[in-house]
Copies of this chain bind each other. A is one copy, B any other.
Amino acid sequence: MTRTVYVNGDYLPEDQAKVSIFDRGFLMADGVYEVTSVLGGKLVDFDGHAVRLERSLSELDMAAPVTKAELLEIHRELVRLNGIDEGMIYLQITRGAPADRDFAFPDPAEVPSTIVLFTQNKPGLADSPAARTGIKVISIEDIRWGRRDIKTVQLLYPSMGKMMAKKAGVDDAWLVEDGFVTEGTSNNAYIVKGNKIITRALSTDILHGITRAAVLRFAREAQMEVEERNFTIEEAKEADEAFITSASTFVMPVVEIDGAQLGDGTPGRVAPRLREIYLEESRKAAV
């Protein structure tokens, strides 16, 4: 089935969805994005994503081409047009396509931002088999730029990291900087020791995960202890449990790090419980 996607005001068949070669997203990675998941045909934490999008745009002095209400309407229309029950909606905004390539930003009054959205249909996203077995990760050096709190499309290194993981026969990679884990290639990283959930504090070093914020809130509400601090990959390998969070994987247990099995090599107690709470609460609050 041909997807219907959204490009600058038009709903188009995916094979007709194009941008100019002069788009600064294509030439200079001058763009930001969001991925919102869909459960039961409804948007999970749309508000959180919209607020983070605004922040990314503002940090880069980029104009928002649509209002938050219009953005919600486009998301809903794409869900409807493509009949999505479970899946994701990808959104990207770039600084548009000036008449020629130039490092200097174009005048936003003359060059409108580019906005693109498309759906990814993923039946069974919530009931993922991987969540029952857990995933394996390797650690790799974190050599990304210094503003990972801005959700830019500079995803080449995360993409290379996924390929390193694939080559190593595992599912994903955790990034390590100065000995400490920053996050996963496209997710936040956590370890569990006893009843304590440990994850790196927010800073420019990591993405301010929307799922992270929700999961930590649910954890605290469920009387679990949360400690936001740096942890080393060695500490992670000796943890009782580990997991990642992201909009598309929700809460996903990690059962092996750099070949070291965590606990008995199965998902443990905390991560599956958090996944359950997260999915339940997200379904309830979805719009």
Residues of A participating in the B interface, judged by any CB pair closer than 8 Å: 5, 7, 14-15, 17-31, 33, 60-61, 90, 92, 94, 100-101, 103-105, 116, 118, 120, 141, 143-147, 152-160, 162-163, 166, 185-186
CA separation between A100 and B14, bound complex, in Å? Answer: 10
The 4 closest A-B pairs by CB, nearest first: A143-B146, A29-B29, A18-B18, A28-B155
CB distance from A181 to the nearest CB of B (A): 17
30 A-B pairs in the complex with CB atoms less than 8 angstroms apart: A7-B21, A14-B22, A15-B20, A18-B18, A18-B21, A19-B19, A21-B116, A21-B118, A23-B26, A24-B159, A25-B26, A26-B26, A26-B31, A26-B92, A27-B153, A28-B155, A28-B159, A29-B154, A30-B155, A30-B156, A60-B160, A61-B163, A103-B159, A104-B159, A105-B163, A143-B145, A143-B146, A144-B145, A145-B157, A154-B154
| Contact B159–A30 (Cβ < 8 Å) | yes
| Contact A26–B19 (Cβ < 8 Å) | yes
Further pairs besides A30-B155, A30-B156: 10, Cβ < 8 Å? A18-B18, A19-B21, A21-B118, A26-B153, A61-B163, A103-B159, A103-B162, A103-B185, A145-B145, A154-B156
Chain B residue at minimum C-beta to C-beta distance from A18: B18
CA separation between A65 and B152, bound complex, in Å? Answer: 27
A23 / chain B contacts, CB cutoff of 8 Å: 26
CA separation between A76 and B88, bound complex, in Å? Answer: 44
CA separation between A156 and B101, bound complex, in Å? Answer: 13
A19 / chain B contacts, CB cutoff of 8 Å: 18-19, 21, 26
CB distance from A33 to the nearest CB of B (A): 8
CB distance from A282 to the nearest CB of B (A): 22
- Given the known inter-chain contacts A103-B185, A153-B28, please indicate yes or no for A20 contacting B21, CB distance below 8 A: no
- Given the known inter-chain contacts A100-B120, A145-B143, please indicate yes or no for A155 contacting B29, CB distance below 8 A: yes
CB distance from A45 to the nearest CB of B (A): 20
Chain B residue at minimum C-beta to C-beta distance from A27: B153
A141 / chain B contacts, CB cutoff of 8 Å: 146
CA separation between A42 and B21, bound complex, in Å? Answer: 24
CA separation between A27 and B158, bound complex, in Å? Answer: 13
A24 / chain B contacts, CB cutoff of 8 Å: 159
A15 / chain B contacts, CB cutoff of 8 Å: 20
Chain B residue at minimum C-beta to C-beta distance from A94: B26
A144 / chain B contacts, CB cutoff of 8 Å: 145
